[in-house]
Amino acid sequence: MGSKIGEFVIRERVGAGGMGVVYRAEHPLIGKHAAIKVMRAELVSPEQEQRLLVEARAVNAIRHPGVLDIFNFGTLPDCRPYVVMELLQGQSLADRMREQGRMDVGTTAWVLEQVLAALAAAHRAGVVHRDLKPANVFLMEQPDGAPLIKLVDFGIAKVMQEHDALARADGSTVGTPDFMAPEQVRGGEVGPAADLYALGVMAFHMLTGTRPFQGDNVQVMFAHVEQIPPRVSTRVEGIPPELDELVARLMEKEPAKRPATATDVRMKLRALARPPVSAEPDAPPPSSVESRAVPAATVPAGRRNGVSLAVTAVAGVALMGVGYWWGAQAREAEPVQVIAPSRPSEQVMVDARPTPPVELPPVMVPQEPAEAPPEVVEEEAQAETATATLAKSTKLPPLPAETPSEKKMEQRQAGLFKLLLARAKDVDAEGALRGRLLQQYRAAADAKTDAERTRIHVALDDIEKELTQRIALHDAPPAPVVAVVAPPVAPRVPALVIPKLPTLPQSNASEQKLAQRMDKLVVELRTRTQNQDVAPELTKQLVEIFTEAAKAQTATERMTVHQALDAWQERLTARFPR
């Protein structure tokens, strides 16, 4: 932590995978946040470095807002390569599906349509993803609350013009077995149709809550090549016939029988697509502010802000003035859609439903009007934009306010300046927050695209969070003395006792694999329950599956046991997530 990579300073570790470790980093001058993925030292090799470089090249060849942006590549002094990319706030589609189970038709079609937009751009640029799956689809939060789907991890992408030179050097198959097209399993030529097959498997999984083929990796790969996948309508009722037929076509064994392009599929889904459920438009304005700290996959669950509940409440009151001031004006009557957990930065957030502009609360007004700074924006200046009035005293250029995105940025900057200047003597006597806000103001004046303004909003989130916390700390009354009450003693849970299990046959490789898996699941049950008898029904089910496994004599019977284990393991992980 604190070390510098390129122009960015490492702030915290936010995640890790099989290939590398991801850190949150910040530009020390302009406050821009980024994610930096550093390859694990034990994996460094010319092949793996090439894979990381492929990802950077593939993403920059696509240049689409629905694809994770990578804007730098380099090597550390110890020879570990790294990439610098945009920092996403939210959760993966895989995490969402684990929480929610199967999705309704409208939401599924909407998510797939967004994925197809990015996929179509990739295919036009000559890039095949080759590892499309829910874990590589990210539901990204935006400052205005509208969702944005991001396609990530092009680490094994194939640039079609390079004749598959970007696959593994030994020619072995790469991808995730559950979502691999038959031609990919065979090691044949992989084109855009392979991505559409994976999309069909994703659609089946989203609509039914299960994948079309179950078993270990080898069994699933053989099933993709040889078995006809079931129809979605055989698993779930109420599926529109046209969607049922489309998913079946996407999972055709022959690439030529699948839809021709991602755009064709997207056009068919548009009539069914419906964004996630949003807030009721006529709901009353919130009477309080909720300080959320829901950890995404990138934030350790134990980390929390140290502000007390009383302080948080005062911070909420202070934030409502500026939050509603610019939020109510920037948004139209359409309600904000909420699809993902709050930002890992844990800022205090306002549920900004449409509401008339409100007056600033008393805590935001100086106690003595005569001492108010001359830079404060006067509310009577209706003939020009708020930042144009502000520019007269700061000598900064007024921000553009032509498009909705520009208006939102202009109003938010003005609102933050107004709040900061009104309370400068209380919370920013040294001028540090003002300096940071001025940096973002200049960046907003030069911003040309919505993507640039989105990054500025992320930096403003941090400034707004710190400002409201300082106001809360300044204005909060002394905390009352609370008597310490000993927590109640938790009831004692008996230790987990697993009855004697039958001995499983291990005369061939298939039987050995099943026996090894059964043993691992016993260990996993003990680990997840902390060796306590808190799920007797799961223990009983595992014993019953053991009994069936001991009787299994054919490959078909063992396949049935594997399927039962898949279902049991899903119930175990859903009840006892790590």
CATH number of domain containing 175: 1.10.510.10
| Residue 530 DSSP code | T
In this prediction, residue 145 carries a pLDDT of: 59
Q: Tokens 């050097």 sit at which residue?
A: 169
Give the model's confidence band at 508: pLDDT under 50 very low, under 70 low, under 90 confident, else very high: confident
Work out the percent of the chain whose per-residue pLDDT is above 70.
71
Give the model's confidence band at 196: pLDDT under 50 very low, under 70 low, under 90 confident, else very high: very high
pLDDT > 90? residue 116: yes
- Residue 75's contacts (CB-CB under 8 Å, 6 or more residues apart) are 81, 82
For residues 182-198, average pLDDT: 90
In this prediction, residue 62 carries a pLDDT of: 84
For residues 207-229, average pLDDT: 91
Residues 66 and 121 in one domain: no
pLDDT > 50? residue 172: no
568's tokens: 């049991």
Q: Domain ends where: 421, 455, 475? A: 475
Instruction: Tell me, yes or no, if 69 is annotated catalytic.
Output: no
pLDDT > 90? residue 140: no
pLDDT > 70? residue 39: yes
Give the model's confidence band at 346: pLDDT under 50 very low, under 70 low, under 90 confident, else very high: very low
Please give the single-letter amino acid code of residue 275.
P
CA dihedral 187→189→194→195, nearest 10 degrees, is 110
In this prediction, residue 324 carries a pLDDT of: 32
pLDDT > 60? residue 522: yes
Query: Counting Cβ atoms within 10 Å, is residue 406 exposed (0-12), middle (13-18) or buried (19+)?
Result: middle
Nearest-Å Rg of the Cα atoms of the chain is 27
Nearest to 66 by CA among 120, 24, 12, 10: 120
Please give the single-letter amino acid code of residue 372.
A
Across 203-207, 220-224, 322-326, 419-423, which has the greatest mean pLDDT? Answer: 203-207
- Residue 338's contacts (CB-CB under 8 Å, 6 or more residues apart) are 145, 276, 278, 279
Residues 76 and 94 in one domain: no
Residue ranges in 13-104 assigned as alpha helix (H): 46-62, 93-100
Distance between CA 424 and CA 436 in Å, rounded?
14
User: What are residue 137's DSSP bridge partners?
Assistant: 151
Residues 95, 131, 195, 428: which is the catalytic one?
131
Give the model's confidence band at 233: pLDDT under 50 very low, under 70 low, under 90 confident, else very high: very high
66's tokens: 């629905």
Give the model's confidence band at 385: pLDDT under 50 very low, under 70 low, under 90 confident, else very high: low
Residues 176 and 236 in one domain: yes
Give the model's confidence band at 458: pLDDT under 50 very low, under 70 low, under 90 confident, else very high: confident
For residues 253-267, average pLDDT: 93
Residues 261 and 119 in one domain: yes
Domain count, the chain: 4
* Residue 415 within a domain: yes
More confident residue, 146 or 569: 569
Q: Which domain holds residue 77?
A: 4-85
Residues 440 and 535 in one domain: no
* Residue 205 within a domain: yes
* Residue 384 within a domain: yes
Nearest to 278 by CA among 344, 333, 319: 333
Q: Domain ends where: 54, 85, 116? A: 85
Q: How many residues does the chain have?
A: 578
SS (H, E, C) 250-269: HCCCCHHHCCCCHHHHHHHH
Give the model's confidence band at 448: pLDDT under 50 very low, under 70 low, under 90 confident, else very high: confident
pLDDT > 90? residue 197: yes
pLDDT > 50? residue 186: yes
CATH number of the structural domain spanning residue 53: 3.30.200.20
395's tokens: 């000598």
In this prediction, residue 492 carries a pLDDT of: 65
In this prediction, residue 412 carries a pLDDT of: 86
Q: Domain ends where: 24, 53, 85? A: 85
Residues 171 and 42 in one domain: no
* pTM flag (> 0.75): no
SS (H, E, C) 114-179: HHHHHHHHHHHCCEECCCCCHHHEEEECCCCCCCEEEECCCCCCEEHHHCCCCCCCCCCCCCCHHH
Residues 247 and 332 in one domain: no
pLDDT > 80? residue 213: yes
Give the model's confidence band at 483: pLDDT under 50 very low, under 70 low, under 90 confident, else very high: low
Residues 60 and 188 in one domain: no
Residues 444 and 556 in one domain: no
Give the model's confidence band at 158: pLDDT under 50 very low, under 70 low, under 90 confident, else very high: low
In this prediction, residue 327 carries a pLDDT of: 36
pLDDT > 90? residue 224: yes
Lowest mean per-residue pLDDT among 338-342, 434-438, 481-485 = 338-342
The helix/strand/coil state of 75 is: strand
For residues 378-397, average pLDDT: 54
In this prediction, residue 241 carries a pLDDT of: 93
Residues 80 and 62 in one domain: yes
More confident residue, 385 or 133: 133
Lowest mean per-residue pLDDT among 20-24, 75-79, 294-298, 393-397 = 294-298
Lowest mean per-residue pLDDT among 161-165, 395-399, 531-535 = 161-165
Q: Which long-range contacts (CB under 8 A, 24 or more apart) does 449-458 make?
A: 450/65, 450/405, 451/65, 451/69, 453/405, 453/406, 453/408, 453/409, 454/142, 454/143, 455/32, 455/33, 455/86, 456/409, 457/142, 457/143, 457/409, 457/412, 458/33, 458/87, 458/89, 458/143
Lowest mean per-residue pLDDT among 135-139, 158-162, 257-261 = 158-162
Residues 228 and 328 in one domain: no
Give the model's confidence band at 236: pLDDT under 50 very low, under 70 low, under 90 confident, else very high: very high
Mean pLDDT of the chain: 75
* Residue 302 within a domain: no
In this prediction, residue 182 carries a pLDDT of: 93
Lowest mean per-residue pLDDT among 26-35, 85-94, 282-291, 406-415 = 282-291
- Residue 555's contacts (CB-CB under 8 Å, 6 or more residues apart) are 510
pLDDT > 70? residue 395: no
For residues 59-87, average pLDDT: 86
* Residue 223 within a domain: yes
Distance between CA 61 and CA 171 in Å, rounded?
24
Q: Are 103 and 276 in contact (CB under 8 A)?
A: no
* Residue 500 within a domain: no
Lowest mean per-residue pLDDT among 194-208, 265-279, 426-440 = 265-279
299's tokens: 């934030």
Residues 18 and 52 in one domain: yes
